[in-house]
Amino acid sequence: MLTGILFALATGLLFMLIGIVFSYAGTRVDILNVLLLQNLFLGILFLAAAVPGGFSGAMWLPVAVMAATGAVNILAMFTLQKAMALGNPGAAWAIAQSALVGPYVGALLFLGERPTVARVTGIVLILGGMALLGVCSKKSIDAGAGSGGGRYRWLLLAFLAFGLLVAAQYFVTASSRWSAEVGTPLRAGSLSLGSVLLAAGVKAARRQYRFRFDRRTVICVAGLTTLGLVSQSTIFITVDRLSEAGAAGIGYPVMMGSCIALFFLYTTLVLKEKSSIGGKLAVAILVAGIFSLCFS
C-alpha cells in the first residue's frame, strides 16, 4: 500500500506542475487547441506502446469505457470553467473538486472495499480543507453571483461538473479491477482518445477549424504532453497498487489533496501571493487528511 501512496503523492506533484503550465497559458493561448493536441499526442504514444501486447475482442469494452471517461472528464472541465466564469469561482472550484470523494464511496459500494476510521477521517479532512480553501479565496469572496433569472446558473453548472468528475474518477478507479491484459498504456491511450474526440467535437460545433502554432502554444503542448505522459501512467499505477491492498478508493483523494496543497505552497512561496490564516489552516487540514490516509 505504501508504494501506491507514494505514487499518488508523485501524481499530485505532477498535477501541480500541470497547474503551473495552465497558469502560464492563461489567456495567451487557445486552451481548447492545446488540450486537443496534447491528448492527440498522448493517445498516439500510449496506444503505440500498447500495440506489442496485442489486442483481443474482450478489450473492446474497457477501451470504450475509458474513451467515454476521457470525454466526460474534458466535458467536466469545460463545464467547471463556465461555472467559474459566470459566478463564484472559488465556490465552484470547491464544489467540483469535492468529486474526489466519489471514487472512495464507489469503491465501498461496488468494489467491496471496507471503510476504516482512518480512511473516513482522511476523506473528511481533505474535503473540509478544500472547502475552507475555497471560502478563503479572495476571488471567491469578491466574485459576483450574477443577476436576474440566470443568477444560480453557475451553481447548477458547478454541481454538473461535480457529477461528471465523480463518474470519470470512479471509472478510472474501477479500471484497476479489469483483466491484467488491459494494461496502463491501453487504458491511458483510450482515455486520451476520448478526450480528443470530445475536444474535436467542440471545435467543430464552434466552427473553429484552424490551429495556431505560435511559440507559447508549442511550449504548452510540449509541457502538458510530457507531464501528461508521466501523470497518466502514475494514475493507473496508483489505483492498481492501492487496489491490491483493497484501498483503490483513496487514490484520488491523495492525488488531488496533495496537488492542491502543493499548488497553494507554490503560489505563496514562489509567486509571493498573500495567503490568509484560513488558507494556511486549510492546507494544514489537507495535509492532515493525506497523512490519515497514508497510515490507514
Question: What is the identity of the amino acid at 209?
Answer: Y
Concatenating the DSSP letter of every residue in 31-57 gives HHHHHHHHHHHHHHHHHHHHGGG---G
CA-to-CA dists, residue 108 to 102, 111, 248, angstroms: 10, 6, 10
C-alpha cell at 74: 474534458
pLDDT digits (tens, 9 = 90+) for 58-91: 788 889 999 999 999 989 988 887 887 777 666 6
Taking the CA of residue 37 as centre, how many other CA atoms within 13 Å lie in the half-sphere pointing to its CB? 19
Task: Give the pLDDT of residue 145.
Answer: 47
Nearest to 235 by CA among 14, 1, 2: 14
**What SS3 state is found at 270?**
coil
Task: Give the pLDDT of residue 180.
Answer: 64
Task: Give the pLDDT of residue 40.
Answer: 94
Task: Give the pLDDT of residue 222.
Answer: 93
Task: Give the pLDDT of residue 272.
Answer: 79
Angle between the N-to-C axes of helices 251-269 and 277-294, in degrees from 0 to 180, rounded to the nearest 10: 150
Task: Give the pLDDT of residue 26.
Answer: 64
Looking up cell 501523470 gives 231
Per-residue pLDDT of the chain (296 residues; tens, 9 = 90+): 889 999 999 999 998 898 888 777 766 788 788 889 999 999 999 999 988 777 776 788 889 999 999 999 989 988 887 887 777 666 677 677 778 788 888 888 888 888 888 888 988 888 888 778 767 765 444 444 444 445 678 888 888 999 999 999 999 998 888 766 678 899 999 999 999 999 999 888 888 877 777 888 888 899 999 999 999 999 999 999 998 888 888 888 889 888 888 888 887 888 777 777 888 888 888 888 888 877 76
Task: Give the pLDDT of residue 202.
Answer: 87
Task: Give the pLDDT of residue 165.
Answer: 92
